[in-house]
Structures are given as C-alpha cells and as structure tokens.
C-alpha cells in the first residue's frame, strides 16, 4: 500500500499538473470504485482544482466551495499521468480524470476491488474520512508519545494503526523499527523513555529520507514505480538477505495478510521471534537465536 512518502510525492506531482486546471470529466471503468452518491460525481465536472492535501494515506482534490474528491489507493491502487496527446493507456484502469493538460488514470491491480473514490461536500464530511492518526512529521515528541502509549500494543501494530499515526504502513514500519533498533513485537508500554525518543527520531528521519529519495527518483516526471519493495531498504522485503548494518540474515514473521521483517542481531538481541505457523510446525526444533539458526 502506498504510504506517507509515496502519497506525498504523488501529491507534489499532481500539484504541478492539475492545480488551476478544470476537471472536465471523470469516467468510471469499474462500478465498485465510487463509494458515494451525494454529491453526485457529475457535480465535480468543470470544477477547477484549487489544491491537494493528504489525509492519512488518502489523496484529496479540493475543487472549491468545500467540494472534494478523495482517492484511497489501498493496496493495489496506483495513479498514472498522460500529458495531452499521449495515447498509451495503463492496464487496470478503474477511473479516468480528464483535464485539458492531460489525463490522470486511477488503476488497480488484481481482483480485490479495494481502491476507492469518494465525493464529499464540507470540511466535516471530509474530516469523517480521517482515521485521526497523529501527523508524525509535524507532531512534537509529547504528542507522538501520547498516541504511542494510548493502549499497550506491539510496536508494529501501533505504528501501522491509522487511528494512532497517519500514513505509516507495513513497509515503512519495518524500516523505522530497524532504524530505531527495536523489536516489532516489543510492547509500547515496556519502552523506556530513551527508546520512545529513539523511535520518534527514527519515524521522522526514515519517512523524511524516503520522501526525499522518491522525490529525487521521480524528478519532474510523474511517479511510476510506486511499490512497497525498494532497493535500498534495510529489512522490508529482504528476507534472508544480509542486514546492511551487521550482515546477519533478515528474518520475518508472517501473520494474517501482513509480515514483519527485522534483523535479530540489531533489533531483538539475537533472539528469533516465533513465526506462528513455522514455530508450531517445528516445536522444539524452532531455533531460539540467530546463532542457532
């Protein structure tokens, strides 16, 4: 799922292309993508884009007079821009936004149909779509700490909870925890003051660094390779590959539809975290440390 760095760079690319432009028409290619009926989608036709903003992992187009289009990419949704005159259409289009300067294509891979487009009127209706997580790039340490300690959860769960923190998902939470040298399964209320401050610093530094990397990668072009697995990541998507800090093989635990990637030597004091399915299968043969492995 595109997270804060990806969404930020998408918004910056869109600002350069559509702010001040009239949205001529929106065409739906999938009946599942539109999640609202009032105001009708046709109410957005001919409206000038006044600005863009981010709400969590959602992209908001401000059409003035408190009329908004909200795009939620979910896991497999992506955006593609074709300047006027470019005819090549990307695969998997679910919605098309037509401007005089070009066309914005909203695509979704696979068949899960989770990506969505919502039209709302009024700041209060827009706020209702906000899960309410803290903007980690703006919040001071005290506000971050308050959200972190509102419940006793694993760090992985806490960081990816949109009601606690805005814009962090599976990929960047792995990178943040590696940078902070903390276990994904450590409970929030077991953190020392020094560890909590280290985590806060790692959150801001990791997200800022990757936003800069993606911004430089895209340049003046529209972002194309928006993926959760990137060259240069320390642990996410790097199972069994060497940790860039210590050389130990990256480990992972799998749960539901997600996984946590970590370095046992850098983050858990050498202890291997129990993968629910594999540890049940291996029982006493499950290695307890990176050295046993």
pLDDT at res. 30: 87
CA atoms of 78 and 90, how far apart (whole Å): 10
Give the CATH class of 141-285. mainly alpha
Whether 105 and 96 have beta carbons less than 8 Å apart is answered as yes
What count of other Cβ atoms lies within 10 Å of the Cβ of residue 57?
23
**pLDDT confidence bin for 276, thresholds 50/70/90:** low
pLDDT level of residue 290 (50, 70, 90 thresholds): very low
Burial label for 283, CB within 10 Å (0-12, 13-18, 19+), is: exposed
Mean pLDDT of 61-66: 97
Model pTM above 0.85: yes
Q: Give pLDDT tens digits for 69-110.
A: 999 999 999 999 999 989 889 999 999 999 999 999 999 998
Tell me 111's DSSP state: S
Residues 6 or more apart whose CB falls under 8 angstroms from that of 82 comprise 88, 89, 102, 103, 105
3-state secondary structure of 79: strand
Hey, where are the domains in the chain? 4-127, 141-285
CB of 5 closer than 8 Å to CB of 211: yes
Number of H helices, E strands in the chain: 8, 11
Look at residue 267 and tell me whether its pLDDT is greater than 70. yes
| Across 245-265, average pLDDT | 90
Average pLDDT of the residues in 136-159: 95
- The CATH T-level fold of domain 4-127 is N-terminal domain of MutM-like DNA repair proteins (3.20.190)
How many CB atoms within 10 Å of residue 205?
13
Q: Model confidence at 280, in pLDDT bands (50, 70, 90)? A: very low
The pLDDT of residue 271? 93
**What is the Cα Rg of the chain in Å?**
21
Q: Rounded mean pLDDT of 171-187?
A: 97
d(CA 109, CA 10) in angstroms, rounded, equals: 18
d(CA 133, CA 248): 34
Average pLDDT for residues 136-155, to the nearest whole number?
A: 95
């Amino acid at each position: 799922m595109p997270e804060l760095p990806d969404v930020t760079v998408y918004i910056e690319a869109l600002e350069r292309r559509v702010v001040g432009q009239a949205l001529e028409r929106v065409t739906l290619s999938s009946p599942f993508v539109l999640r609202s009926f009032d105001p009708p989608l046709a109410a957005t036709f001919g409206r000038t884009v006044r600005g863009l903003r981010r709400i969590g992992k959602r992209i908001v187009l401000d059409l003035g007079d408190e009329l908004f289009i909200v795009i939620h990419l979910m896991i497999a949704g992506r955006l593609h821009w074709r300047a006027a005159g470019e005819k090549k259409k990307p695969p998997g289009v679910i919605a098309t936004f037509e401007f005089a300067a070009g066309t914005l294509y909203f695509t979704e891979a696979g068949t899960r149909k989770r990506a969505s487009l919502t039209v709302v009127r009024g700041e209060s209706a827009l706020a209702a779509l906000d899960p309410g997580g803290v903007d980690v790039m703006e919040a001071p340490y005290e506000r971050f700490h308050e959200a972190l300690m509102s419940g006793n959860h694993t760090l992985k769960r806490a960081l990816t909870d949109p009601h606690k923190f805005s814009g962090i998902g599976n990929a960047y939470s792995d990178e943040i925890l590696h940078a902070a040298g903390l276990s994904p399964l450590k409970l929030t209320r077991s953190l020392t003051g020094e560890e909590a401050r280290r985590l806060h610093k790692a959150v801001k530094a990791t997200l800022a660094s990757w936003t800069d990397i993606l911004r430089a990668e895209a340049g003046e072009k529209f972002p194309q390779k928006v993926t959760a697995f990137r060259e240069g990541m320390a642990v996410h998507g790097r199972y069994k590959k060497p940790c860039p800090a210590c050389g130990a093989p990256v480990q992972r635990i799998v749960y539901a539809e997600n996984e946590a990637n970590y370095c046992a030597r850098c983050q858990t004091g050498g202890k291997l975290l129990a993968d629910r399915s594999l540890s049940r299968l291996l029982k006493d043969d499950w290695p307890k440390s990176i050295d046993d492995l």
